[in-house]
């Protein structure tokens, strides 16, 4: 299962991502975490990113894509992944598409958690007020001012991705303002439908092979039928030859018998002649004696 979760800050992406990780046995890939891990591992692409960040620059898309390319090939990502924080722009989405195509992978779904920004700001204000009331310091990244800037950045850079993936017929939208459990259930229904669609596509791809198998099985049968046809055509000729042989057989047999009888009669005549000569000689000897 390979997913992208879209939604502005505070939409609940992190919570839902963790639930998906547990349910499907996949990994959540954060670009920040991947960058830090690549730098720590001193991979070629990590060292390149380290030099850029050390110089105070923004890591370019091709470097981030390179880090993702290395990361998704690791064993723990074999069952799939959720991309967190990437892509943020349409060019990044296009680069990701090219990467996945190169690796013969597909995204299963892009899920947008749609929320009411006004309600999000109210929540942050209320949370900040409650924190101050307890005498605690408000987190610098958890104020209405910071959230307003982040929402503005999201609309400018990331929101176009909604149109991009919608045009590619991959986008599914969930009401992120529902209770957490209901959001989880809705995402589960979407992914179940995606699984059925993927299965039908796989079956459709397999059907040409099945048809070709049938064609292959028909080929020998066709040859056998052709041979049988030829044999059937030859059968009358064979029968005719056999009939001629049968007619000729008595004549040949009679001729053979005739020859044998002639030879026997000659032998009998010769034997009789010999017997007569022997008897005459015997009689002559007796008369002399």
Distance of alpha carbon 20 from alpha carbon 285, whole angstroms: 136
3-class state of residue 3 by DSSP? strand
The tens digit of pLDDT for each residue in 121-145 reads 998 999 889 999 999 988 887 888 8
Q: 219 lies in a domain?
A: no
Q: 67 lies in a domain?
A: yes
What domain range includes position 28?
Answer: 2-177
As for how many domains the chain has, the answer is 1
H/E stretch holding 24: helix 13-24
Question: In the 8-state DSSP scheme, what is residue 5?
Answer: E
Q: 244 lies in a domain?
A: no
In the predicted model, is pLDDT for residue 20 greater than 90?
Answer: yes
In the predicted model, is pLDDT for residue 245 greater than 90?
Answer: no
Q: Please report, for the domain that includes residue 150, its CATH number.
A: 3.40.50.300
Q: 81 lies in a domain?
A: yes
Q: What do you get for the CA distance between the two ends of the chain, in Å? A: 134
Q: 149 lies in a domain?
A: yes
Q: 28 lies in a domain?
A: yes
Q: What is the pLDDT of residue 268?
A: 45
The tens digit of pLDDT for each residue in 200-235 reads 555 565 555 444 444 444 455 556 556 655 654 554
Distance of alpha carbon 101 from alpha carbon 94, whole angstroms: 11
Q: Which of 69, 122, 124, 71 lies closest to 100 in space, CA to CA?
A: 69
Q: In what order do the strands lie in the sheet with 81-84?
A: 27-30, 81-84, 2-6, 109-114, 171-175
Q: 247 lies in a domain?
A: no
H/E stretch holding 64: helix 61-71
Q: 161 lies in a domain?
A: yes
Q: What is the pLDDT of residue 253?
A: 43
Q: What is the pLDDT of residue 187?
A: 96
């Amino acid at each position: 299962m390979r997913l992208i979760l879209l939604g502005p800050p505070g939409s609940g992406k992190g919570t839902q991502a963790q639930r998906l990780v547990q349910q499907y046995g996949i990994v959540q890939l954060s670009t920040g975490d991947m960058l830090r891990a690549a730098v720590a591992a001193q991979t070629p692409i990590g060292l390149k990113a380290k030099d850029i960040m050390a110089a105070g620059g923004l890591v370019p898309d091709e470097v981030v894509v390179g880090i993702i390319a290395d990361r998704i090939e690791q064993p723990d990502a074999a069952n799939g992944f959720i991309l967190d924080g990437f892509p943020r722009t349409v060019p990044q989405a296009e680069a990701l598409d090219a990467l996945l195509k190169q690796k013969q992978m597909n995204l299963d779904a892009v899920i947008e958690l749609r929320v009411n920004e006004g309600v999000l700001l109210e929540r942050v204000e209320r949370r900040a007020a409650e924190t101050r009331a307890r005498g605690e310091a408000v987190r610098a990244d958890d104020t209405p001012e910071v959230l307003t800037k982040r929402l503005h950045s999201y609309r400018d850079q990331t929101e176009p991705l909604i149109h991009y993936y919608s045009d590619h017929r991959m986008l599914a939208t969930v009401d992120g303002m529902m209770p957490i459990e209901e959001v989880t259930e809705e995402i589960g229904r979407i992914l179940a439908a995606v699984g059925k669609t993927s299965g039908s596509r796989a079956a459709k791809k397999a059907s040409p092979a099945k048809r070709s198998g049938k064609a292959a099985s028909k080929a020998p049968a066709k040859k056998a039928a052709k041979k049988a046809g030829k044999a059937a055509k030859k059968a009358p000729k064979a029968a005719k030859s056999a009939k001629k042989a049968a007619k000729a057989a008595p004549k040949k047999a009679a001729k053979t018998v005739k020859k044998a009888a002639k030879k026997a009669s000659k032998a009998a005549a010769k034997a009789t002649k010999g017997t007569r000569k022997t008897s005459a000689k015997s009689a002559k000897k007796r008369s002399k004696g």
